[in-house]
Amino acid sequence: MNPLRHVAIIMDGNGRWGLRYKNSRNAGHKAGLNTVEKILKETVKNKIRFLTLYAFSTENWKRPKKEINYLFDLLENFLINRIEELHKQNIKLKIIGFKNFSPKLNKLLSLSEKKTSKNKKLQINLALNYGSKTELIHAFKKIYKNKERVNEKNISNYLQTKDIPDPDLLIRTGNTKRLSNFLLWQLAYSEIFFEKKLWPDFNEKDFNRVIKSYKKIKRNFGNI
């Protein structure tokens, strides 16, 4: 049985779900938040230490302003309503990606990170305005500036996932088989599951089915 320390998820399919059932992409984003809650609970139940959720990519700025604003309002309300509870559950929140949102949201994100920084049960890495290529460029620039060696250890150390083990498992919902600039370095040896269901339809049972399959995989890491 493979140990499972870190699950990463590309939560895709909200827009299509919203259009299909409510005639609004934003309704899909709202429904997607319920799935986040479900998966969070299940992650704790499964005693997984790290959960990385892709919530907004550096490329998602291309979307209509109305949708972007709705997404950040959802996030803001989620944090205002839920951070206390997450803190009580010993959950740590870390943002990966560059925090360049409204001053109000930036502050809320920093406060939420600070408040939960010592928590130990589960670490949620929320990828917001995250892009793997930008992250890597940033790392290389730091190595160059500090005149350090270009090697695996140094590159990993300058990524925003420093001190976090690489994901064992990547799940992408929404029936699309691509990485969309997510954790390109960190996913080098992850087991990848592309799920047909749209994110708002994905549930605890699906999550546990994937985990069960993951645990049985023979992970070679180049060996035999």
Q: Which residues are catalytic?
A: 12, 60
Distance between CA atoms of residues 135 and 70, nearest Å: 26
Regarding 210 and contact with ligand IPE (CB under 6 A), the answer is: no
Question: Are 211 and 169 contacting, i.e. CB atoms less than 8 angstroms apart?
Answer: yes
The yes or no reply on residue 15 touching ligand IPE (CB under 6 A) is yes
Residue 174 in contact with ligand IPE, rule: CB under 6 A: yes
Spatial CB neighbours of 85, under 8 Å, sequence gap ≥ 6: none
User: Residue 105 or 155: which CB sits closer to ligand IPE?
Assistant: 105
List phi, psi (to 5°) of 51. -130, 120
Q: What is the distance between the alpha carbons of residues 56 and 82, in angstroms, rounded to a whole number? A: 19
The piece of 13-21, 38-46, 76-84, 133-141 that touches ligand IPE (CB under 6 A) is 13-21
Amino acid at 207: F
Residues 4-63 that bind Mg ion (CB under 5 A): 12
Report angle CA 134, 140, 143 to the nearest 5 degrees: 145
Q: Which residue is nearest to ligand IPE (CB)?
A: 15
Tell which phi-psi region holds residue 33, choosing left (phi > 0), alpha (psi between -120 and 50) or beta: alpha
- For residue 198, give the nearest of 15, 70, 2, 5 by alpha carbon: 15
Q: Does 16 bind ligand IPE (CB under 6 A)?
A: yes
Q: Is 203 in the site for ligand IPE (CB under 6 A)?
A: no
Size of the site for ligand IPE (CB under 6 A): 18
Q: Which stretch binds ligand IPE (CB under 6 A): 6-14, 90-98, 113-121, 205-213?
A: 6-14
Residue whose CB is less far from ligand IPE, 43 or 58? 58
The token pair at 188 is 């080098």
Query: Does 10 engage in binding with ligand IPE (CB under 6 A)?
Result: yes
Backbone dihedral region for residue 55 (phi beyond 0: left; psi -120 to 50: alpha; all else: beta): alpha
For the CB of residue 96, give the shortest distance to ligand IPE in the complex, in Å. Answer: 12
Task: Confirm if 211 and 46 have CB atoms less than 8 A apart.
Answer: yes
Residues 46-105 that bind ligand IPE (CB under 6 A): 54-57, 59-60, 71
Number of residues in contact with Mg ion under rule CB under 5 A? 1
Q: Which is nearer to ligand IPE, 184 or 217 (CB)?
A: 184
- The minimum distance between CB 57 and Mg ion, in angstroms, equals 9
Residues that bind ligand IPE (CB under 6 A): 10-16, 54-57, 59-60, 71, 174, 176, 178, 180
Residues that bind Mg ion (CB under 5 A): 12
